[in-house]
Amino acid sequence: MKTAQARVLLTGASGGIGQAMTQALLRSGAQVLGVSRSPQESRQPGLSWVQADLTSPAGISAIAEAARVRQINVAVHAAGIPGFGRFEDLSAQQISAILQANLAMPMLLTQALLPHLAQSSKAQIIFVGSALGRIGLPGFSLYSASKAGLHGFVEALRRELADSPVRVQLLAPRSTRTAFNDAQAQAYNEATGTHSDSAETVAQALIGLIESESSERYIGWPERLAVRLNGAFPAWMDGSFKAHRRYLSSAPTPLQPGER
C-alpha cells in the first residue's frame, strides 16, 4: 500500500519511536490517528488523536470505534514498555505489567479492530517487535519473552488471515536511541558494544514495510544475521554473550520500591 493511501492507527504515537513514526507517516502523505493516554493537541494537518487507556476494555473499545469512524486501513502497534535487569531482581508487578503491555494489549486491540479491517478492500496490521524476540539476551529475559510471544502471535495470525484482505506484518528494531532505554540499559549497551539506531531510522523502516507489504523486516546488521544463526544454532550462540553475563554479574542490584 502506498503511504499516501494509508489511514493509520498508531499506538504509542506521542513519544520515542512512535513520535518519529508519526512525523514520517505525515511527511509521506498518510493520515494518522494517534493513540495516547494523555490529551494531545492536533496541530498538524492529517493528524488526529484518540485519548484512551490501552489497559482497559473501555479504552480498547474507544480506539476500535475511532478507527471504524475514520476508516483506518493500517494499524501499527508501537506502544510498549521496557524490561531490563537480572531476572531474579524483577518484581511480580514488573513481570505482569510488561507481559500485559507488550503482548496482551496488542492482541486484544487487534481482536477489537479485526471486524472493521476485515471489511476493507485492503488492510495491514503491523506489530513493532524486537530483534530480542528472536535472540534471547541476558538482562532482557522478560522483555525478550514478551516480544517472542508477540512474534509467535504475528506469525500464527498472518497464516490464519492469509485468505483475508488483512496483511499481518512484523517490524523488529534493534536497540534504539530514545528515552525507552533507561540509564542502566544504556550503560549495559555501551559496555557490551550493542549497536543502536535512531528513532528516525526505525520510522523510515516502517514506511518501507507498509509500501512493500513484506511479512517481516529486521533492522540492523549484524542483528539480521544473528537472528538467522540463533534460529538455526541456538546452543552454539550461547557462547556469544559472555560480556553480557559478566556485566550483569558485576552490576549493582537495583533498589526495590521503598528501599534506601
For the chain, 260 residues long, give each residue's pLDDT as a single digit of tens: 999 999 999 999 988 899 999 999 999 999 999 999 888 887 799 999 999 999 999 999 999 999 999 999 999 999 999 989 999 999 999 999 999 999 999 999 999 999 999 999 999 999 999 998 988 889 999 999 999 999 999 999 999 999 999 999 999 998 888 777 778 888 887 888 778 789 999 999 999 999 999 999 999 777 777 788 878 888 878 878 888 888 888 766 553 444 33
pTM, 2 dp: 0.89
Please state, in angstroms and rounded to a whole number, the distance separating the CA atoms of residues 128 and 164.
21
Quick check: is 229 in a domain? yes
For residue 152, the enclosing domain spans 3-250
Quick check: is 257 in a domain? no
Quick check: is 239 in a domain? yes
17 class by beta-carbon count within 10 Å (0-12 exposed, 13-18 middle, 19+ buried): buried
Tally of helices (H runs) and strands (E runs) in the chain: 10, 9
pLDDT for residue 260: 33
Please state, in angstroms and rounded to a whole number, the distance separating the CA atoms of residues 178 and 186.
10
CATH number at residue 232: 3.40.50.720
Please state, in angstroms and rounded to a whole number, the distance separating the CA atoms of residues 5 and 7.
7
Quick check: is 41 in a domain? yes
Quick check: is 205 in a domain? yes
Q: How many domains does the chain have?
A: 1
